[in-house]
Amino acid sequence: MSARQRIEVGGHAPYAITIGPGLLADREALAAPLRGRHVLLASDSHVAPLYADGVSDALLAARPGVRVDSFVLPAGEASKTLAGFGAAIDALAALGATRDACVYALGGGVVGDLAGFAAACWMRGIDCVQLPTSLLAMVDSSVGGKTAVDLPQGKNLVGAFHPPRAVLADTSTLRTLPDRELRAGLAEVAKYGAIVDAGFLDWLAAHASGLLEREDAALAEAIARSCAHKAAIVERDPFEHGERALLNFGHTFGHAIEAGQAFDGLNHGEAVAVGMVLAARLSARLGHATDADADRLQAVLERFGLPVALPRGLAPDALLARMRLDKKAQAGGLRFVLWSGIGRARVVADVPEAEVLAVLRAA
């Protein structure tokens, strides 16, 4: 993997994203954002045995007087609940965390979202350092400050905006990431091409083999280009009053699929892959784009080994009912991020439900 890259996220609460190999063993890089003497190191049952001791040892070596408690969630989306959040809050209480305490979120997007939300709420907000270990978390969830947990009624329905104090993406950790999770991350990488950068989608198509074979240079470039896109968007629109909504391309469908499968079917990246194809097809159906563009996006996602059709057992009517509860829906009707072609996404309000149902039935 190539040398470290640094991307600044400006705005009301600026921070840096550092990307590169070996960051979890870099004592100074890990300890630099720490202001106080209390650390809650949050992780999950897959990631903690691999990396938590190393992070804890490095922090203690850099700051001998610090207390580091660990908090480990069962791995998987099913843990991203109010109960999991409550357990994280209990861990902060047991730590005696003061206002200058810091939560280190070591893991994928599930840990990052839940631990970030705990940091947002403890004493009305303490520091959080994101240590993403999945590709998806490196390119998306660790950046931008969205934190949340799920309810049975839907994804991310309880949460807060709480920007991290720093993001340290140690690309060496991708070596232990399961293939399925690597592909899920590639769905969110492809999203940036789909919404704002048609040339990037072409680059991904050309480098698909290298990415799937985890070639260092290909992964480093995909992560840096994705983070640069995300950083630019969240800097301009941190609270999703406008442009940031484009990052939800495919997510209205995807979130309904995840909730419809009780967060135990397709994973987030896979559901987003299906959702992006459905959003592209809906765009074509409404006359905003062409089916040829949708075919092009679908081909890249298929090349990555991602699902592109609705899983069996999900009734279109039930999915539509879930979409009405999506955070992007407004009182007036369904809103979707659609596109006018690859790299040209926009928010479209009042999309007729009959058209959405037609796309779901065709999928």
List, by residue number, the catalytic residues: 124, 146, 188, 230, 240, 244, 248, 251, 255, 268
Give 203's contacts (C-beta < 8 A, 6+ positions apart): 193, 221, 225
By CB under 6 A, tell whether 238 contacts ligand NAD.
no
By CB under 6 A, tell whether 244 contacts ligand GLY.
yes
**Residue number, 89 or 228, with CB nearest to ligand GLY:** 228
- The nearest distance, CB 289 to ligand GLY, in angstroms, is 21
Q: What is the identity of the amino acid at 44?
A: D
Q: According to CB under 6 A, which one of 41, 55, 80, 200 is a site residue for ligand NAD?
A: 80
By CB under 6 A, tell whether 326 contacts ligand NAD.
no
**Residue number, 38 or 183, with CB nearest to ligand GLY:** 183
The β-bridge partners of 167 are 17, 130
By CB under 6 A, tell whether 107 contacts ligand NAD.
yes
CB 172 within 8 A of CB 135: no
- The nearest distance, CB 43 to ligand NAD, in angstroms, is 8
Distance from C-alpha of 167 to C-alpha of 146, rounded to nearest angstrom: 13
By CB under 6 A, tell whether 326 contacts ligand GLY.
no
Helix, strand, coil tally for the chain in percent (to 5)? 50, 20, 30
Q: Which two tokens stand for residue 156?
A: 């991310």
Helix (H) or strand (E) holding 148: strand 146-151
* Residue 244 touches which member of ligand NAD, ligand GLY, none, C-beta under 5-8 Å by kind: ligand GLY
Q: Which of residues 95-154 bind ligand GLY (CB under 6 A)?
A: 140, 144, 146
Chain length of the chain: 363
Q: Which of residues 171-210 bind ligand NAD (CB under 6 A)?
A: 173, 176-177, 181, 184
Q: According to CB under 6 A, which one of 81, 134, 226, 252 is a site residue for ligand NAD?
A: 134
Give 334's contacts (C-beta < 8 A, 6+ positions apart): 252, 323, 324, 350, 351, 353, 356
Q: Which two tokens stand for residue 337?
A: 């991020």
Give 232's contacts (C-beta < 8 A, 6+ positions apart): none
- Contact residues for ligand GLY (CB under 6 A)? 140, 144, 146, 240, 244, 247-248
Residues near ligand NAD (CB under 6 A) are: 44, 46-47, 50, 75-77, 80, 107-111, 113, 133-134, 136-137, 140-141, 144, 146, 155-156, 173, 176-177, 181, 184, 267-269
